[in-house]
Structures are given as structure tokens and as C-alpha cells.
């Protein structure tokens, strides 16, 4: 059975993260957490980690990194690394740039923190207000070894997750973790 990584950006959110974790059940995924949100909701960060999910760095304020001075870009990554490590006891090894906005300078910053940059092969467009049906249809385009981009904070995403899991299983695919 081939794996497809399910990844969730921008959380945690008290309004949707608990329901998302319930929808995933025992299936493990990768959560790229927004530092400001993690600081505001530390118990949710710990809950994600305790459920066995991989936690990645998604910057502190979710900026477009390619337009930032090196020092500011470094602070965005460092501050989030430090917080997530202090909350979970594990230093993240994965990084997703907000908006997929990356270049050589971003790659250097990420590498300096021991992080591996992870983009995606399927964008479900849940961030643009896609319906649960549209999210499921987009995720159905995932191929073995693919990475599906999803977002916390979207009720349609939570509603789509059980259907995505069922569709993957029907295709002989299994959800897997994104690894650095």
C-alpha cells in the first residue's frame, strides 16, 4: 500500500482543531503550525503532539518570506521553533513556507535551523473557501508519495477528512507522515 501525506497548515484553532483530530481518528498527519496561534493555544499544540502527529514550523506571523530581510525571516522561523520545542519537547524538523513563497534565501534560513522545506503536490484550495465536495475531489488527485495541502480553521476541511480517508483507502493508498 502506497502512502499519501495529509498536511494541515495554519493551526491550531479551538473552533476546528479538536474536531479535526477526531475526524483523523488514529490516522497520523503533519501539522504545520503558525507560531502566534500555537502561543495562543498551547494545550491544542500538546494535544496534536500527544495524538502522534508530526508538528512542523509554519513561521510566527505567516508572512511572505521572500520579501523579508534575512534577520526578520530568521526570527520568524527561530521563534516558532523555540515555542514548538518548548511545548512538545521535540524540535520540529519540517518547515512549510506560508503561501509556498520560497527562494534560495528562504532555503538557506530553513536549512540553518535544521529544517527540511515541504511543499505539496495537491492543493485542495480549502484556503479559498472550497466546499467539502471540492476538497475531497481535489484530494482524489493525490498520487502515491504525494503531499496534500489542507488547512485548519476550515469547517469544510474537517467535514472532508473522513471522506478523503475513505477515498484513499478505496484506491489502495494510505495516509502517511511527511518526513524530513
Which pLDDT score, from 0 to 100, does residue 19 have?
A: 97
Residue 180 has pLDDT above 70, yes or no: no
Query: Which three cell numbers mark 101?
Result: 513563497
Q: Band of the pLDDT at 176, cuts 50, 70, 90? A: confident
The answer on pLDDT for 81 being more than 90 is yes
Catalytic residue, chosen from 37, 41, 58, 151, is 151
Active site residue 151: yes
Q: For residue 179, is pLDDT > 90?
A: no
Alpha-carbon span 52 to 70, nearest angstrom? 33
**What average pLDDT score do residues 142-168 get?**
97
Provide the whole-model pTM.
0.96
| pLDDT tens sequence across 11-43 | 999 999 999 999 999 899 999 999 999 999 999
Mean pLDDT of 38-60: 97
In angstroms, rounded to a whole number, what is the distance separating the alpha carbons of residues 91 and 3?
24
What pLDDT is attached to residue 1? 54
SS3 content of the chain, % helix, strand, coil (to 5): 45, 15, 35
Whether the per-residue pLDDT at 59 is higher than 70: the answer is yes
Query: One of 9, 10, 123, 126 is an active-site residue; which one?
Result: 9
Domain count, the chain: 1
Active site residue 10: no
Nearest to 101 by CA among 46, 47, 51, 62: 62
**pLDDT exceeds cutoff 70 at 111:** yes
Domain that holds residue 163: 2-176
Stretch 101-129: mean pLDDT: 97
| Domain at 28, CATH number | 3.20.20.370
pLDDT for 74 beyond 60: yes
Contact 73, 106 (CB under 8 A): yes
Amino acid at each position: 500500500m502506497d502512502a499519501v501525506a495529509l498536511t494541515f497548515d495554519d493551526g491550531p484553532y479551538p473552533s476546528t482543531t479538536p474536531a479535526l483530530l477526531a475526524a483523523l481518528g488514529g490516522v497520523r498527519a503533519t501539522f504545520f503550525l503558525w507560531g502566534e496561534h500555537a502561543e495562543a493555544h498551547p494545550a491544542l499544540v500538546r494535544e496534536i503532539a500527544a495524538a502522534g502527529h508530526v508538528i512542523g514550523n509554519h513561521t510566527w506571523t505567516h508572512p511572505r518570506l521572500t520579501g523579508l530581510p534575512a534577520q526578520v525571516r530568521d526570527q520568524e522561523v527561530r521563534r516558532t521553533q523555540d515555542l514548538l520545542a518548548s511545548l512538545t519537547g521535540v524540535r520540529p524538523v519540517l518547515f512549510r513556507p506560508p503561501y509556498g513563497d520560497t527562494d534560495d534565501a528562504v532555503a538557506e534560513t530553513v536549512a540553518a535551523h535544521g529544517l527540511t522545506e515541504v511543499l505539496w503536490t495537491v492543493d485542495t484550495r480549502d484556503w479559498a473557501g472550497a466546499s467539502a465536495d471540492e476538497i475531497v475531489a481535489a484530494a482524489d488527485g493525490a498520487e502515491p508519495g504525494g503531499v496534500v495541502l489542507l488547512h485548519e480553521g476550515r469547517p469544510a476541511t474537517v467535514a472532508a477528512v473522513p471522506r478523503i480517508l475513505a477515498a484513499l483507502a478505496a484506491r489502495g493508498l494510505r495516509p502517511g507522515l511527511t518526513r524530513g
